[in-house]
Amino acid sequence: MVQTAALLMLASGAAHAMVNAILKSGGDKMSSRALIDGSSALFVLPLAFVVPFPVAAAGWLLASFAVHLLYLVAVIKAFEGADMSAVYPVMRGTAPVVAALVSVVWLGDPITITTALGIALVTLGTLLVAWWNAPDRRALAWALLTGATIAAYTVIDAKGVRAAPCALSYIVWVFLLLGFGVGALFALWRGPRFVTEARRQWRPGLIAGALSIATYGLALWAYRLGDVPRLAALRETSIVFGIAIAVVILKERVGKARLAGALTIAIGAAVLILAN
C-alpha cells in the first residue's frame, strides 16, 4: 500500500507538470484556467449520479474551494510575471515543508528521519532550481503565496478525503465544486475575452481538464493510503517534469544550477519512495 501511494504520487506529479505547461503556453491565463477547470467538472459530472455526496466532508470541500480559488489566482499571476522554469519550482517546492509540519501537528501523521531527509533534498533541489535567473520580486511573491496555498489545500483535502465514505466520492465532488465554481467565476471575470479564448484554446483546455482529474485524483487517492508529509514532498517531482517540458516544449533556458536542482529533487524522490 505504501509503494502504491508513492507510484500514484509520481504519476500525479508528471500530469501536474503537463497541466501547468498547457496553462503557461496559453494566451489569457485566467480564461485558460476557466476552460481547464470547467472541462474537468464536465468529465466527472456523470459520476455524481453514481457516488454519494460526502456529507461528513462537506466542510472540508468548502474550505478546499476557498483555498483553491486563492491558489489559482496566485499561480496565474506568477505565470504572467515569469518563466515557468523560474516560478514553478518555487511554488511547488515550498509546499511540502509547510504541509509536512501542519500534517504532523494537526493530522498526527508520522514522519521518520528518512522521510525528513527526502523532504530536505526536495526542498534543497527546489532552491537550486529557483536560484539561477531568479524571478522578480512580484512574481516571486506570487509563487511563494502559491506554495503556501498548496500546503493548505493539501492538508485540507487529505483530511476531507479521509472523512469521505470513499476516495472517489470526495474526488468527484471536489472537481465538481472547483470546476463549475472557479470556472464560472473566472469566465465571468474575463467576460468577452473568455469567449474569444475559448474558441481558440478549447482543445488544449479539454486535454488539460482531463489531466487535472488524473493529477489531483491520483494525489487524493494516495493521501487516503499513506502519510501526507512523505507523499506531499514526493508529488514535487513534478518540478523535474516541469523543467523538462520548459526546455523541450517551451524553449526556455535552463542553466547548470537548475539541472543540479532537478537531480537533487530526483534523489530526494528516490529516498521518499524507499522510505517506509
pLDDT(261) > 70: yes
pLDDT digits (tens, 9 = 90+) for 19-35: 777 777 767 778 888 88
pLDDT digits (tens, 9 = 90+) for 35-44: 888 888 999 9
Q: What is the pLDDT of residue 232?
A: 65
Mean pLDDT for 94-122 is 73
pLDDT(80) > 70: yes
Q: Are 122 and 263 in contact (CB under 8 A)?
A: no
More confident residue, 171 or 246: 171
pLDDT band at 53 (very low <50, low <70, confident <90, very high): very high
Mean pLDDT for 116-134 is 74
Instruction: List Cα–Cα distances, 120 to 32, 39, 258, in angstroms.
Output: 34, 36, 17
Q: Which residue has the cell 470546476?
A: 179
Which residues fall within 8 angstroms of residue 168, CB to CB, at 6 or more apart?
Answer: 47, 51
Q: Which residue has the cell 523535474?
A: 240
Mean pLDDT for 114-136 is 75
Distance CA 258, CA 274 (A): 24
Q: What is the pLDDT of residue 257?
A: 74
Range of the domain at 32: 2-274
Mean pLDDT for 55-63 is 93
| DSSP per position, 98-139 | HHHHHIIIII-----HHHHHHHHHHHHHHHHHHHTTPPPHHH
Task: Quote the Cα angle for 138-139-140, to 5°.
Answer: 90
Percent of the chain predicted with pLDDT > 70: 83
pLDDT digits (tens, 9 = 90+) for 207-255: 888 888 887 778 777 777 766 666 766 666 677 777 777 777 767 776 7
Q: What phi, psi does 15 have (nearest 5°)?
A: -65, -40
Distance CA 54, CA 79 (A): 34
The grid coordinates of residue 20 equal: 501547468
pLDDT(129) > 80: no
Percent of the chain predicted with pLDDT > 90: 10
Q: Are 111 and 229 in contact (CB under 8 A)?
A: yes
Mean pLDDT for 119-135 is 73
Q: What is the pLDDT of residue 274?
A: 65
Q: Are 30 and 201 in contact (CB under 8 A)?
A: no
Average pLDDT over the chain, rounded to an integer? 79
Q: What is the pLDDT of residue 120?
A: 82
The grid coordinates of residue 226 equal: 499513506
Element (H, E) at 151: helix 137-163
Q: How many domains does the chain have?
A: 1
pLDDT(276) > 60: no
For the beta carbon of residue 255, count every other beta carbon within 10 angstroms.
Answer: 13
Distance CA 142, CA 139 (A): 5
Distance CA 33, CA 72 (A): 8
For the beta carbon of residue 269, count every other beta carbon within 10 angstroms.
Answer: 25
